[in-house]
């Protein structure tokens, strides 16, 4: 498991850093040669085309935050053959983009150091960036923040002072070239924006990915769109189209016109920051593709090795080695342009993947962000991407097909016999029977457990109002089910007998998890208004017979000391699974069974199931930190938003506090809340 070290600012910096490079400092001149001054609209069209795949990637990344990004999403949706093609192709496209960026520095360096050998300089930068990546994502992320901050400041300065120098006559006849060249140019400059989604390959290393990934990517695309649009307007407005067309240093040429020699120096610094930035972020992202494919046995297991710094060392070394090889042997400029075509194909598959994942109806597919306007957004994304590939000509089509063939051959001759899974597409066609891969649901449930609860999930409140059964002698599972069902039937139009049969049927078909001496029977019922729970403790043990799906459904006998019955509304399967995952995570902790067995009463049993990060006890008068709240009403307490006093223990009695309940010395409060609020409380009262 990779370390979660990337915060929102890191996500934004990496995403922006892989976007603002050659697309701004090199391609405008090439685009102008093809579309004239209308190349401004090519950048706008390219930004619009990236929106559907961007929304699709964000949805998939918040559902499956795993290294590998686009490869992982396509693989899990469309199957390992498509995943192999997407993984190899996207990995190589990123490597080409990094190589292109390192070579691109030459055009600007040469302006100041004529005759300097560019390739050795590019190779040196590749090695330095590789070493930084090996020593940790966090260090690489910090470098990225510095690079992007400097880049944006210079570009904002360039645009702000460039606008007053615009000559309107340069926009005369802007549409003379026609619309077809503009569309073809949009395909060419499309690669300018694709970097905005590359941070998805690092989603496994992002803290709170359901918030930080969407927000970071959306902010990055907004930044790139503004910079590209305003920047190209300045370039067209300042330089005659004859001078701009074919210019490999268009920003420097425009800056010299605006500021003189000092402007050339300034934007050249920005160009170097941009190229180093994209090389750093691109290497960081690219190295995660061999790692992810190795985990899935598509690549050799060697690439799954994680260094002591928490980074995929072998994958990074291989990626840097290929970059250096390309720098020494090839001129990657022309090939890098063709990367746009393959990226368009990959993004078409990503949009299709969202449709497959949603229509598969896998309960554990639980994205924190859902793409708007589904499925029309995805259909437009597929059609627009394929149309741009077609308009770019035969060479990009042949290039794309070559990678499709390469990926197919690798899968067929190396990976096919090693991979035992299929994609979510088989969940749609259940008539294919054996081809349906049930392991995908298990994998997604594991991801749910890692992601944890969402802010709106009422887990603590469910525990607080749960019904507790504390048995003093051995019992049979059927007896316990009968008691729990009598309580559940109060909340739904089902009899206790019907609910009992549903629980027992789940146990017979292997749907009741049993682990660490705990059983977790669960149901989703139509008509149930809110999730409810019954907690059963039996230190002497509850005897349960179950059919284990891991042993061909052979009947097994187990003794458990805890049974957690969970019933949720039928309408929200994802929340039901998140709550199950939260319980599973708690019972996996070493402290759980001790807290469970030592609990003195019903409230102690409830407290044992709460995660220690989300609750605390406050003993009033135990130290001077709590003396000042003696005599206060509950509703007057200064506790953080999102926290709640759920119980008050006084003289061996449990009180449900009301807003006007007066706090007395020796009271013991049980407080639940989100992690941020609980952290503030624990810091204030210095208690656990």
Pairing of strands 514-515, 653-655: unpaired
Please give the pLDDT value at position 431.
Answer: 40
Q: Which of 562, 592, 610 is the last residue of a domain?
A: 610
Please give the pLDDT value at position 233.
Answer: 95
Average pLDDT score, the chain: 81
Domain hosting 492: range is 454-610
Look at residue 435 and tell me if it is in a domain. no
For residues 586 and 605, the answer to whether their CB atoms sit within 8 Å is no
- Which pair of tokens denotes residue 131? 């070493």
Please give the pLDDT value at position 42.
Answer: 92
Look at residue 1 and tell me if it is in a domain. no
Q: Do 541 and 578 belong to one domain? A: yes
Look at residue 173 and tell me if it is in a domain. yes
- Give the whole-angstrom CA distance, residue 123 versus residue 276: 12
- Give the whole-angstrom CA distance, residue 176 versus residue 37: 9
Look at residue 147 and tell me if it is in a domain. yes
- Give the whole-angstrom CA distance, residue 277 versus residue 143: 8
φ, ψ dihedrals at 651, nearest 5°: 50, 50
- Under the banding of pLDDT at 50, 70 and 90, the label for residue 432 is very low
Q: What is the CATH number of the domain that holds 629?
A: 3.30.70.1450
Which of 536 and 89 is assigned the larger pLDDT?
536
pLDDT tens for 658-677 read 888 898 888 888 887 777 78
Please give the pLDDT value at position 642.
Answer: 74
- Give the whole-angstrom CA distance, residue 597 versus residue 627: 32
The DSSP string of 110-139 is TTTSTT--HHHHHHHHHHHHHHHHHT-HHH
- Give the whole-angstrom CA distance, residue 193 versus residue 344: 11
- Under the banding of pLDDT at 50, 70 and 90, the label for residue 429 is very low
Q: Do 588 and 674 belong to one domain? A: no
SS (H, E, C) 161-224: HHHHHCCHHHHCCCCCCCHHHHHHHHHHHCHHHHHHHHHHHHHHHECCHHHHHHHHHHHHHHHH
pLDDT tens for 49-101 read 889 999 998 899 888 877 667 778 888 888 888 888 888 877 887 787 788 77
Q: Do 158 and 102 belong to one domain? A: yes
For residues 521 and 561, the answer to whether their CB atoms sit within 8 Å is no
SS (H, E, C) 332-344: CHHHHHHHHHHHH
pLDDT tens for 362-393 read 777 888 889 999 999 999 999 988 888 887 77
Q: Do 194 and 216 belong to one domain? A: yes
pLDDT at 482 over 90: yes
Which of 304 and 354 is assigned the larger pLDDT?
354
Which of 293 and 501 is assigned the larger pLDDT?
501
pLDDT at 198 over 50: yes
Q: Do 378 and 346 belong to one domain? A: yes
pLDDT tens for 563-582 read 999 999 988 888 888 888 88
- Give the whole-angstrom CA distance, residue 69 versus residue 54: 12
Look at residue 374 and tell me if it is in a domain. yes
State how far the alpha carbon of 305 is from the alpha carbons of 2, 87, 94, 126, 316, in Å: 11, 18, 21, 21, 10
Average pLDDT over every residue of 331-343 = 64
Look at residue 629 and tell me if it is in a domain. yes
* Full-model pTM: 0.67
- Give the whole-angstrom CA distance, residue 667 versus residue 655: 10
- Under the banding of pLDDT at 50, 70 and 90, the label for residue 338 is low
Please give the pLDDT value at position 420.
Answer: 60
Q: Do 616 and 606 belong to one domain? A: no
Q: What is the CATH number of the domain that holds 136?
A: 1.20.1740.10
Q: Which of 572, 592, 610 is the last residue of a domain?
A: 610
Look at residue 441 and tell me if it is in a domain. no
Average pLDDT over every residue of 414-419 = 80
Look at residue 433 and tell me if it is in a domain. no
Q: Do 53 and 195 belong to one domain? A: yes
Q: Do 635 and 602 belong to one domain? A: no
Closest C-alpha among 235, 207, 208 to residue 23: 235
Helix (H) or strand (E) holding 331: none
pLDDT at 631 over 90: no
Please give the pLDDT value at position 373.
Answer: 93
Count structural domains, the chain.
Answer: 3
Q: Do 597 and 640 belong to one domain? A: no
Q: What is the CATH number of the domain that holds 594?
A: 3.40.930.10
Q: Do 189 and 337 belong to one domain? A: yes
Please give the pLDDT value at position 542.
Answer: 93
pLDDT at 139 over 60: no
pLDDT tens for 207-230 read 777 888 889 889 999 999 999 999
Q: Do 485 and 351 belong to one domain? A: no
Collapse the DSSP code of 316 into the 3-class scheme (helix H, G, I; strand E, B; otherwise coil) and give the result.
helix
Q: Do 347 and 245 belong to one domain? A: yes
Collapse the DSSP code of 65 into the 3-class scheme (helix H, G, I; strand E, B; otherwise coil) and give the result.
coil
């Amino acid at each position: 498991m990779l370390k979660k070290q990337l915060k929102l600012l890191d996500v934004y910096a990496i995403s922006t850093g892989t976007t603002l490079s050659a697309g701004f400092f090199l391609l405008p001149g090439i685009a102008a040669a093809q579309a004239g001054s209308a190349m401004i609209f090519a950048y706008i069209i390219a930004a619009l085309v990236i929106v559907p795949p961007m929304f699709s990637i964000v949805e998939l990344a918040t559902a499956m935050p795993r290294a590998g990004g686009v490869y992982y999403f396509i693989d899990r949706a469309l199957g390992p053959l498509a995943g192999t093609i997407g993984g190899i192709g996207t990995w190589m496209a990123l490597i080409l983009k990094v190589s292109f960026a390192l070579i691109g520095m030459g055009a600007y360096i040469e302006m100041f150091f004529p005759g300097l050998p560019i390739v050795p300089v590019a190779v040196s930068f590749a090695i330095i960036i590789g070493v930084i990546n090996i020593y940790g994502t966090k260090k690489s992320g910090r470098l990225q923040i510095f690079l992007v901050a400097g880049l944006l400041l210079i570009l904002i300065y360039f645009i702000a002072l460039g606008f007053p120098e615009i000559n309107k006559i340069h926009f005369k006849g802007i549409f003379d070239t026609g619309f077809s060249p503009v569309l073809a140019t949009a395909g060419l400059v499309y690669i300018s924006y694709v970097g905005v989604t590359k941070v998805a390959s690092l989603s496994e290393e992002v803290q709170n990915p359901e918030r930080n990934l969407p927000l970071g990517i959306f902010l990055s695309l907004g930044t790139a769109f503004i910079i590209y649009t305003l920047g190209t307007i300045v370039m067209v407005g300042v330089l005659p189209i004859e001078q701009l067309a074919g210019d490999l240093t268009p920003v420097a040429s425009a800056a010299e016109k605006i500021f003189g020699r000092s402007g050339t120096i300034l934007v050249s610094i920005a160009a170097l920051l941009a190229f180093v930035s994209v090389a750093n972020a691109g290497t960081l992202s690219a190295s995660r593709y061999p790692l992810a494919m190795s985990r899935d046995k598509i690549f050799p297991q060697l690439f799954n090795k994680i260094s002591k710094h928490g980074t995929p060392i072998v994958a990074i070394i291989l990626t840097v080695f290929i970059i250096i090889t390309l720098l020494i042997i090839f001129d990657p400029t022309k090939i890098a342009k063709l990367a746009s075509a393959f990226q368009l194909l990959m993004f078409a598959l990503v949009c299709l993947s969202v449709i497959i994942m949603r229509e598969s109806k896998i309960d554990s597919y639980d994205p924190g962000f859902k793409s708007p306007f589904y499925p029309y957004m995805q259909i437009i994304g597929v059609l627009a991407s394929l149309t741009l590939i077609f308009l770019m000509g035969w060479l990009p089509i042949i290039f794309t097909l070559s990678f499709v063939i390469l990926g197919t051959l690798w899968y067929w001759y190396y990976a096919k016999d090693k991979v035992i899974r299929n994609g979510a597409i088989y969940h749609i066609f259940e008539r294919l029977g054996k081809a349906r891969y049930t392991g995908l649901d298990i994998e997604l449930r594991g991801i749910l457990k890692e992601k944890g609860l969402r802010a709106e999930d009422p887990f603590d409140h469910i525990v607080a109002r749960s019904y507790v059964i504390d048995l003093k002698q051995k019992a049979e599972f059927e007896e316990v089910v009968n008691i729990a069902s009598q309580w559940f039937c109060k909340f739904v139009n089902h009899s206790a007998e019907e609910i009992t049969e549903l629980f027992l049927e789940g146990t017979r078909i292997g749907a009741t998890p049993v682990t660490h001496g705990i059983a977790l029977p669960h149901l989703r019922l139509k008509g149930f208004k809110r999730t409810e729970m019954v907690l059963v403790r039996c230190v002497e043990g509850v005897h349960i017979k179950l059919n284990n799906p891991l042993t061909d459904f052979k009947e097994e006998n187990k003794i458990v000391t805890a049974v957690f019955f969970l019933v949720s509304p039928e309408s929200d399967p994802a929340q039901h699974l998140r709550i199950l995952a939260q319980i599973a995570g708690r019972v996996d902790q070493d402290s759980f069974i001790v807290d469970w067995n030592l609990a003195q009463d019903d409230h102690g049993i409830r407290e044992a199931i709460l995660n220690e990060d989300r609750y605390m006890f406050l003993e009033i008068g135990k130290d001077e930190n709590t003396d000042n709240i003696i005599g206060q009403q509950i509703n007057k307490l200064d506790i953080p938003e999102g926290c709640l006093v759920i119980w008050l223990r006084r003289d061996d009695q449990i009180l449900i506090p009301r807003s006007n309940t007066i706090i007395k010395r020796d009271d013991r409060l049980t407080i639940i809340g989100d992690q941020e609020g609980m952290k503030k409380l624990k810091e204030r009262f210095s208690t656990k």
